[in-house]
A and B are shown apart, each in its own frame.
Chain A
Amino acid sequence: MKILPSEITPYKNYLNRRKFIKSSVATGLALGASTGLHANHSSDQSVYANQLDENDKLNSFEEITTYNNFYEFGMGKTDPSENSGDFKPKPWSISLEGLINNPQVLDLEKLLQQVTVEDRIYRLRCVEAWSMVIPWQGFPLSELIKIADPLSSAKFIQFVTVFRPEEMPGQKRQLLPWPYVEGLRMDEAMHSLTILSTGLYGHDLLNQSGAPLRLVVPWKYGFKSIKSISSIRFVDKQPDATWSMLAPSEYGFYSNVNNLVDHPRWSQNTERRIGEFKRRETLMYNGYEEEVSYLYEGMDLRKYY
């Protein structure tokens, strides 16, 4: 049997499964109530209580879906919820490309039959120094990577947002170089915290949240969690990422939440949790240090920010 380097999970990872034991319990609940896309927990917070960290409280569905950065629909925080009505997330397919054994265009509905949709409650920390706690539904990115079956030469993954200027008014203007792209190193992509989300609060993702499929990488700044993904490319070199291309001194490729690396515009020491008055201390790796710090051992985080 051939074992890919990307499939080898460090032993340390197995020791840090605190949240996964919790989340697998919730997975059972999610499966019970869902056919993949149509879980429905509405806003019933009790369903998620066992996954919530002590100091966190879920943000409301309204907060999560009316305060968004999704420049494809405009630059204002309420633009995505106001201007995304014409976007059609169904039907949807994802193209798997590059250094893989199974390049293909995958129908999303079919993909969802092959993966396990779970509940994952994550903090989301935006580089603009605000944060939320969001109950996502999604499946580990690693499951899709296994379907793609990468060659051992694939070291990074690039994600591309769909380009549909007719449905995404922001793409008609040069707000950013379109399409939006993001990337992860293979071991980050394989990490069990990294998910592709299809819903939140038991609803299908709304257009403003990146319907029908978006990345969620909770230990990185929000802009890494690319929305409305249309293709996934397996590559051997560090790929381009939109913000990092645009302002490399401000946004690095890694963009891990790190209060030690300052940003010229926002202090990364504190954050405003949406719905709270006083700022909170920002936690290293957004509070997921225990789970992810081994990925960056020996790296100079000031250089690889």
Chain B
Amino acid sequence: MITTQSFKKTKPLIFLSILLPSIFWSYQFINGSLGVNPIEKYMDNMGEMALRLIVLTLFISSLSEFKKFRFLIDVRRMIGLFAFFYVSCHFLTYIALDHFFDVTFIIKDILKRPFITFGFVSFICLIPLVITSPKKMLKKLGFKVWKKIHYLIYPAAILSSIHFYMLVRANKVEPAIYIFLILILLLYRLYFKIILPQLVR
């Protein structure tokens, strides 16, 4: 059985393997080997990676309820922070490379295009999670409040998967899988954390 102690040793490895894609894509971007529309490709890669990491944190939350997978909880924060890192890269690419800091256009774009609105709100939802991620903050706020804040991961996950869904022009199977996974994980949590305890009482 994997213990939290032995799992901790693999943490640097996990850190590197999640960081590596961003370095690789940045290298490709500078190197000119990211295809003929590198800005689009860079932005898409970053965004999809972020969505994958968000779903991964949800999986970890649910899996770590089981004793066997308890150790996973130890990397959840790191993966969550990485998700924010990739979302930030995605959003910064949109601002700096795609629209070259054309702030009035960007604000209009966010307000006008639902898929961008969803993506943006999802990004905003993640900010409190990042701010309250240090252990100190957990102590300061108390577990109950902290936990409530961190339920924001669910709207963030749903909005970002819808953001992806709306972006795809045809055959929306891939984004639909993300939405499906997120909803299953959300329902699972709802049942075991909220509905079941009330039934037992």
Contact = CB atoms under 8 A, between A and B. Distances in A.
Contacts of B105: 267
A71 B171 CA distance: 10
Interface string A79-116: 00000000000000000000000000000000000000
A174 B171 contact: yes
B133 to A, nearest CB: 33
Interface residues of B, number: 21
B99 interface: yes
B171 A66 contact: no
A161 B97 CA distance: 36
Nearest to A63: B36
Contact of B166 (A75, A265, A274, A275): A265
A279 B100 contact: yes
Contacts of B171: 75, 173-176
A260 interface: no
Interface string B88-122: 00000000011110000100010011110000000
B21 to A, nearest CB: 18
A259 interface: no
Interface string A60-73: 00110011000100
B37 interface: yes
A63 B32 CA distance: 12
B200 interface: no
Given A264-B114, A265-B166, A267-B105, A67 B37 contact: yes
B169 to A, nearest CB: 8
A272 interface: yes
A265 B115 contact: yes
A77 B113 contact: no
B166 A272 contact: no
Interface in B131-171: 166-171
Contacts of A279: 99-100
B73 interface: no
Contacts of B109: 267
B35 interface: yes
Nearest to A250: B169
A77 B34 CA distance: 12
B39 interface: yes
Contacts of B166: 265
Contacts of B37: 67, 77, 130, 272, 274
A128 B44 CA distance: 14
A173 B166 CA distance: 20
A67 B35 contact: yes
A265 B167 contact: yes
Contacts of A274: 36-37
A95 to B, nearest CB: 26
A303 interface: no
Residue from A71, A176, A279 with most neighbouring chain B CB atoms (10 Å): A279
A278 interface: yes
Contacts of A173: 171
16 contacts: A63-B36, A66-B36, A75-B171, A78-B35, A130-B40, A174-B171, A175-B171, A176-B170, A246-B170, A265-B167, A265-B169, A267-B113, A272-B37, A272-B40, A278-B100, A279-B99
Given A75-B169, A173-B171, 16 more contacts: A62-B36, A63-B36, A67-B35, A71-B170, A78-B35, A130-B40, A264-B113, A264-B114, A265-B113, A265-B166, A265-B167, A272-B40, A272-B98, A274-B36, A274-B37, A278-B100
Q: Which 10 A-B pairs have the closest CB atoms?
A: A175-B171, A63-B36, A67-B36, A274-B36, A175-B170, A176-B170, A278-B100, A274-B37, A66-B36, A67-B37
